[in-house]
Amino acid sequence: MNFSLRILGAASAMPISEMNPSAQALTVQGRLLLIDCGEGLQQRMRQMHLSFLKVQAVFISHIHGDHVFGLFGLLSTMAMYGRTEVLHIFGPEALGSIIKFYLSWFGDGMNYQIEFHKVSARGLEEVFSSRHVRVSAFPLRHKIECYGYRFDLIQSERELAKYGGPRSYAYCSDTMPFPELAGYVRGVKVLYHEATYPMDFAGKAAARFHSTTEDAARCALEAGAGRLLIGHYTSRVRDRAIFEREAARIFPNVTAVSDGDEFEL
């Protein structure tokens, strides 16, 4: 079963020369599910040889620019490539008006339909399913309405035996720590959790509704995750080893991701 992750952007809001803002591509049996769409998304997709026409759905966590500014270009490029398949987009209610704005100015000549699905999860709630994967949304705690997403692969008994259990991935975008979060991602095989700040900046993390390296690691430990990926780095600290080293004190199986990284899930 083809189930893999590519990091298209691992930075936070401030520009970093070698790293894009938040964007990821999850491959499920040859189809792509995009998770957040920061600037530079399209260029990174081209660099990693990902087809725009294989995107089945887009999942947006919240309406901050570093998570959505790449969406307009993506929609336009899909039209230029002659897409005809419906594109499903999931996100907070405010995203619906943004898509309407785009279509009102740039929608002429589009041969495909955009189907927007409002996310308003108060707990772990299924929002999308296909033959191969179930996607659930869950609330995060940020300055504005924000959601994480959990992707659970649908597997046969043979595949469960081959891979030693269920294969799953969870994406925790911008959030401060809160007690319920570990429950939403309980038992996930691979967890991505923002770790915007090292511990020297713990005060800034709390004030800005973000997490530190240790916050991310504690969540992974409490959830019983198999592996932790961290990202969404502040531009104040360029040494990724600091983030990984701090998180590893609590959860050893951790990787501080960079743009272009690929992971088999």
Name the residues annotated as catalytic. Answer: 66
Say how many Å lie between the first and final Cα of the chain, rounded: 10
Residues 163 and 197: beta-carbon distance below 8 Å: no
Phi, psi of 162 (to 5 degrees): -65, -40
Task: Note whether 258 and 233 are within 8 A (CB).
Answer: no
Q: How far apart are CA 100 and CA 116, in angstroms?
A: 10
Residues comprising the chain, all counted: 265
Question: In 3D, which of 17, 50, 18 has the Cα closest to residue 34?
Answer: 50
Residues forming beta bridges with residue 171, ordered by sequence position: 149, 192
Q: Is 245 exposed, middle or buried (0-12, 13-18, 19+ CB in 10 A)?
A: middle
The side-by-side arrangement of strands in the sheet containing 262-264 is 114-118, 87-91, 55-59, 31-37, 23-28, 3-9, 262-264
Q: Which of 218, 173, 182 is nearest to 199 (CA)?
A: 218
Cβ proximity of 16 and 235 under 8 Å: yes
Q: Edge to edge, what strands does the sheet with 125-129 contain?
A: 125-129, 133-139, 147-153, 168-172, 190-194, 227-231, 254-256
